[in-house]
Amino acid sequence: MNTLKKVGVPIVSIVIFLLFWEGLVWINDWPKYKMAAPSDLPDAFWKFRWLFLEMGWQTLWRTVIGLVLAVLVGGALGMIMGLSQIFRGALYPLLVGFNAIPKATLVPVIALIFIGQHDFNTVLMAVMISFFPIAVSVSIGLSTLEPEYRDILRALGASRFTIFRKIALPKTLPEFFGALKVSVTLAFIGTNLVEIVSPHGRGLGALFKSGEINGNYPLMFAVLIALAILGIVLYYLVVIFEKIFAGWAERPQT
């Protein structure tokens, strides 16, 4: 019963959503150059299946590499800001300002600086757009550590590093994973921004662009669905890691 609920409820909700979409297109009698219906998508997927595999892979690996780098960069910045008040004061306004810049405006900038480096540019954008939540959450997690937590080990003469490793780091993990879930989606936005905007791009974003140029709406919507699927897969991958490393933060069900 419980597993049926767990699997059944999301599936039913997806089916209802697709039916609603299909019905909307059918009732309004929208032609294919205006709006694609779910029933148009299988054909699009099948027709461009090799392109989907190739472009999907391009988008996926660049997003994942971007995320990994965002975790490293964001984590490092978060640690610096979380452990040092001076660095927090120095870096926070810079980071907030940087984060406030619409990243689409940076696409031509990095495209000019790193001409032709399509992979590099795409990964760079994914990092730039997704490291911020990680940096903020890690720094808040570290800086809000109650002094008693530190004192129980400090009173025993433990080093700063030991306290960090045994207490501060594990205590920050739930916040970190919360931020990572946000960053997954942001990283996809980053890669796709570059893929769509740069000429002769690769990846699902480029496929979307070519659909647009050719007026192939079913292809464009198929790309959106493919992106959604990749996003869901990566998101739940993070959820699995969260369960393994920070499962303790989940309150027991009563």
- Using the minimum distance from each CB to another protein, give the nearer residue, 43 or 151: 151
- Using the minimum distance from each CB to another protein, give the nearer residue, 83 or 167: 167
Q: At its nearest, how many Å lie between another protein and the CB of residue 252?
A: 6
In 3D space, the residue among 178, 172, 154 whose CA is nearest the CA of residue 81 turns out to be: 172
- Using the minimum distance from each CB to another protein, give the nearer residue, 31 or 252: 252
Residues at the site binding another protein, with contacts judged by CB under 8 A: 146, 148-149, 151-158, 162, 166-167, 170-171, 173, 246, 248-249, 251-252
- Using the minimum distance from each CB to another protein, give the nearer residue, 116 or 147: 147
- Using the minimum distance from each CB to another protein, give the nearer residue, 126 or 163: 163
Query: 59-63: long-range contacts at Cβ-Cβ below 8 A with a sequence spacing of 24 or more?
Result: 59/188, 59/191, 59/192, 59/195, 59/203, 59/204, 59/205, 59/227, 59/230, 60/230, 62/119, 62/122, 62/123, 62/126, 62/191, 62/203, 63/126, 63/187, 63/188, 63/190, 63/191, 63/230, 63/234
Residue type, 201: G
Q: At its nearest, how many Å lie between another protein and the CB of residue 86?
A: 17
Q: At its nearest, how many Å lie between another protein and the CB of residue 168?
A: 11
Q: At its nearest, how many Å lie between another protein and the CB of residue 170?
A: 5
User: Which two tokens mark 2?
Assistant: 């419980």
Q: At its nearest, how many Å lie between another protein and the CB of residue 80?
A: 23
